[in-house]
Amino acid sequence: MTTHLVWFRADLRLHDNFALAAACRDRHARVLALFIATPEQWRTHNLAPRQAALLTSQLNALRQTLAQKGIALIYKEAADFTASLETVKQVCEQEQVSDLFYNYQYELNERQRDAALEKALSGVICQGFDDSVMLSPGSVMTGNQQMYKVFTPFKNAFLRRLMDGLPECVAAPKVRESGALEPPATPITINYPQEAFDPDLFAPDEASALERLREFCRSGAAEYAQRRDYPAIDGTSRLSACLTLGMLSPRQCLHRLLAEQPDALAGGAGAVWLNELVWREFYRHLMTWNPQLCRYRPFIRWTDNVKWQHDDALLEAWQQGKTGYPIVDAAMRQMNATGWMHNRLRMIAASFLVKDLLIDWRSGERYFMSQLIDGDLAANNGGWQWAASTGTDAAPYFRIFNPTTQGEKFDRDGEFIRTWLPELKAVPGKAVHTPWEWAEKNGVTLDYPRPVVDHKQARKTTLAAYEAARKGESA
């Protein structure tokens, strides 16, 4: 009997899992599953403790559901990706594995690991799959076979491909011939710092993720365009963590969206949420084409000449939500407390760090990764480079968010701000966006910091820094 081994990574699900489906296609084969935790590598990549806790939850759920299918999950730990190859080799030898199945990851370290995989294994057939994307990287290119550098042309080409034919989803495997296994009694524990997450906010297993996807596509996707920018409203899907860890595939999201909102591909209801899925694809395709993005390099090279301000006190004020700008502080405190931040707020908080405090965007990128339950290198890097005007199709460097007017626009009455800044609950109405002006006018002392910078002056300083960097590049 041949033995097939499925190496799970960021694809912790039974349904629509290309590697798992391929491994189970031969109904006579013995199928095993493997997951290797790499704590030292995770520390290097700033894996958030809440993401580690969610991963542990889903890994234990996956082990149970795999057992019901007659597939045992082997759990191992290795320090890093290099050491994980030796672990795979040992498991293949011990279990007499004939074929190894895995889904590709597109980050640079992961691609280097997979490139070394076949060399590390002797006599084992390796099969990799493009599973975490709707369309394979390199399949949506310009007429000159170059990667698109601007999102809208990429999106248009991407949607044309989808209209020509949707990517298929594959079914979950059936129970193996040998029958179901006894579910493991002792849960897997991972040797990495973990912090509790709220299962009402973030689906703890595949079944919950699928139910959340169905519910959002049925009732939330059609209103997403009108509701998504307002953080006091529960108007987003909160499925990003499910996609990051692979509890859901983007193909499942696409098919479920079209089942509930059939006009989404043509620009009808649900199109704006589909647009967000395409942004996710854009950043993953781009990172595959330009691996230097994994090395904290800017896409626009001259922006590396910007003279950043190195101020630990200002960085800490931003991290702790104590900048004196309420919408920024509420956003940071939401992330610190829950491991998640509303997307509009991610743009506001990132813009403030880079363009008001003139602190290197890479400091913000790393801090977000260390906190976010949905931290994903491609999306996080893409978002930060957009906000910092250093990336492809980024906001022009002279476009600088005013944090006060952003708060007034997207949290007009301050409902979100008061949720996360209880010290401002007594500040009435729209005055919550400029609390010190109200406090001084009314002779009130607030337990809230004054603004750490003056936005108008900070804007001038930032523009001068970017303009000097651009002129230096052309000189």
436 classed as catalytic: no
Q: At 73, give phi and psi (nearest 5°).
A: -100, 120
Which of 36, 130, 42, 53 lies closest to 92 in space, CA to CA? 36
Catalytic residue, candidates 7, 361, 386, 420: 361
Catalytic residue, candidates 384, 386, 420, 438: 384
Task: Read off the tokens for 200.
Answer: 């009402």
361 classed as catalytic: yes
Amino acid found at 365: E
Catalytic residue, candidates 95, 308, 402, 408: 308
CA–CA separation, 123 vs 74, rounded Å?
Answer: 21
Which of 128, 23, 124 lies closest to 66 in space, CA to CA? 23
308 classed as catalytic: yes
Alpha helices in 246-395 (DSSP H): 250-260, 271-289, 312-320, 326-338, 343-351, 361-371, 377-388
CA–CA separation, 216 vs 204, rounded Å?
Answer: 17
Q: By CB neighbour count within 10 A (0-12 exposed, 13-18 middle, 19+ buried), where does 400 fall?
A: buried
276 classed as catalytic: yes
Catalytic residue, candidates 276, 305, 336, 436: 276
Q: What is the dihedral of CA 440, 442, 448, 453, to 10 degrees?
A: -30
Give the H or E element holding residue 113: helix 108-120
Catalytic residue, candidates 275, 305, 336, 343: 343
Give the H or E element holding residue 166: none
Q: By CB neighbour count within 10 A (0-12 exposed, 13-18 middle, 19+ buried), where does 217 fall?
A: buried
42 classed as catalytic: no
**Angle at CA 329, nearest 5°, toward 323 and 330?**
165
Catalytic residue, candidates 279, 318, 340, 438: 279
CA–CA separation, 367 vs 369, rounded Å?
Answer: 5
336 classed as catalytic: no
Task: Read off the tokens for 77.
Answer: 């730990």
Identify the DSSP state of 126: E
Q: At 34, give phi and psi (nearest 5°).
A: -135, 135
- Tallying the residues shown for the chain, one arrives at 475
Task: Catalogue the active-site residues.
Answer: 276, 279, 308, 343, 361, 384
